[in-house]
Structure 1
């Protein structure tokens, strides 16, 4: 009897908590997406970022960009100020906690949940992987660390997830002002370089610049968010497909009705839409669920003349 009463009470408080923070609706909406790919991407990013930090950045006194670089800065300063070096995993998490609270209220719940998973995976792997000195050459550490980190960031972006940090600040400001906020990253990375120079010497600040440059180049090679793709869909379920394109991708489409195939002479509809590379995985999932029999042709790197809005998701 006691167990039943305790279970009912626990279930009541759990549902009350979930209802207050809208978690039930969020979890249900996530379950309808390809969340397994996003979680896998979070794990891959977490592992690669940990390898970059523990195998290259920390042993070579080279700073990364964004929140990871700020976490390294806080770790270095804690050692000199309080005489105790806080782990990079802890400082990285402390930086992201208030930012994730901001993202929950200003950007979106699904975005925040996947960001929380990604940040948690990164912090966990940074804590678990030992710090290994493969080489003391700071240039080699800067180059290889930048490559590994760039691969992780690129893979994360390819699966439309965020690693937190300055991404959250940038998306929040863009949502409020509508302005391009790329200079935020420049400001943060510039601050990291200055502190790196003051802490370890300006030579190491230059090595960190190499890391940031290589990381950005590798990220672009793995994934370019601004790449636009044109999809031509030949379907017998145009209304269902259009509804998903409108409400899931927030894209428009051009419809050509009553076309005829030359093989079996069935009546079909052609839909033409333009999406970004970041939306491609969601697009594939939508087509697989809505009309798996549709014929879809996708052209990459198309050029657009006219209005094309890039939304942050």
Structure 2
């Protein structure tokens, strides 16, 4: 193994652990600074853990704390992720969830009283940023993230849309426990959280790229070597201004790949024309990047 490969792996490891730590900090701040003071449920497994804490504190002689239940509820999903997504992915997910559980316990809740709308907005934004960065780094924050990634591959729906769908039950529980006005704030929090995740975690967004070039060979080689994308080649195109023979390349990429494909085209043909547009749905054979 070369030194560059060792450095790349080390950098990747540090990046993933840093993202896991950032997520843990974000979810703990969102929970203890905004959701708990505002009597608002979070999305996903964190929300279900809050529900168990609320129910146990009211009807049981002991309290199932959110921090502990957050980890316990994720255990079956670790198993699902191990077999359905990948071992490394699940390992880093375990680290993120464990750190999140610890941070929830370590960071003390504040006693200040905020407007519940502020709690919903800021809680959703803080947690959404943390979750999005974790997913962007190739790890999951556990819970519905794992189910969301699996179902996104099956359905093509965005991660935030899947997240919102599964969290309807949490809104209903918030209505019964805290009142229906709090259910509204919980729904607002979940919506904001899902939108922020979609804004940060953009891998699910597909882009159609059309490249008009006089030097297609090296561009094709660069795209296939770097991104392993299929390319449709249209020969015998003609520029209306110069009347020179050109080749049109058509491909669909993840938004993640935009920087790479731009540099590939720029380095191999600075005078190429490139058009990029967002794609709503892709049918047929399209290779998703696997979490690592």
TM-score, with structure 1 as normaliser: 0.67
Question: What is the number of residues matched between the two proteins?
Answer: 260
Unaligned ranges ≥5, structure 1 = 1-27, 257-269
Checking the alignment, whether the CA contact within 8 Å between 2:219 and 2:268 is kept in structure 1 is no
Q: Distance in 2 between matches of 1:124 and 1:306?
A: 40
- Please give the residue correspondences for 1:1-313 in structure 2 after superposition, counting only pairs within 5 Å: 31=9, 34-172=12-150, 178-179=154-155, 185-229=163-207, 230=209, 242-243=224-225, 245-246=227-228, 251-253=229-231, 274-278=252-256, 302-304=277-279, 307=283, 309=286, 311=288, 313=290
Q: Distance in 2 between matches of 1:185 and 1:218?
A: 12
CA gap of 1:82–1:310, structure 2 versus 1, over 3 A, is farther
Does 82-91 or 97-106 show the bigger shift? 82-91
Once the two structures are TM-superposed, the CA of residue 225 in structure 1 deviates from its matched residue by 3.5
Give the 3-state SS of the residue equivalent to 2:253 in structure 1: strand
CA gap of 1:302–1:199, structure 2 versus 1, over 3 A, is same
Q: Distance in 2 between matches of 1:220 and 1:77?
A: 31
CA gap of 1:58–1:243, structure 2 versus 1, over 3 A, is same
CA gap of 1:155–1:174, structure 2 versus 1, over 3 A, is closer
Checking the alignment, whether the CA contact within 8 Å between 1:160 and 1:279 is kept in structure 2 is no
Checking the alignment, whether the CA contact within 8 Å between 1:42 and 1:117 is kept in structure 2 is yes
Once the two structures are TM-superposed, the CA of residue 152 in structure 1 deviates from its matched residue by 1.4
Q: Distance in 1 between matches of 2:76 and 2:14?
A: 26
Q: Distance in 1 between matches of 2:258 and 2:82?
A: 25
Q: Distance in 2 between matches of 1:132 and 1:83?
A: 25
Once the two structures are TM-superposed, the CA of residue 120 in structure 1 deviates from its matched residue by 1.8
**Deviations, residues 67-102 of structure 1 (Å, cap 9, x unaligned):** 111111111112123232222111110111110111
CA gap of 1:228–1:98, structure 2 versus 1, over 3 A, is same
CA-based RMSD: 3.9
Q: Distance in 2 between matches of 1:239 and 1:171?
A: 30
Once the two structures are TM-superposed, the CA of residue 112 in structure 1 deviates from its matched residue by 1.0
Checking the alignment, whether the CA contact within 8 Å between 1:135 and 1:141 is kept in structure 2 is no
**Deviations, residues 210-253 of structure 1 (Å, cap 9, x unaligned):** 1112222333333434434559899979868734533xxxx324
TM-score, with structure 2 as normaliser: 0.72
Checking the alignment, whether the CA contact within 8 Å between 1:227 and 1:301 is kept in structure 2 is no
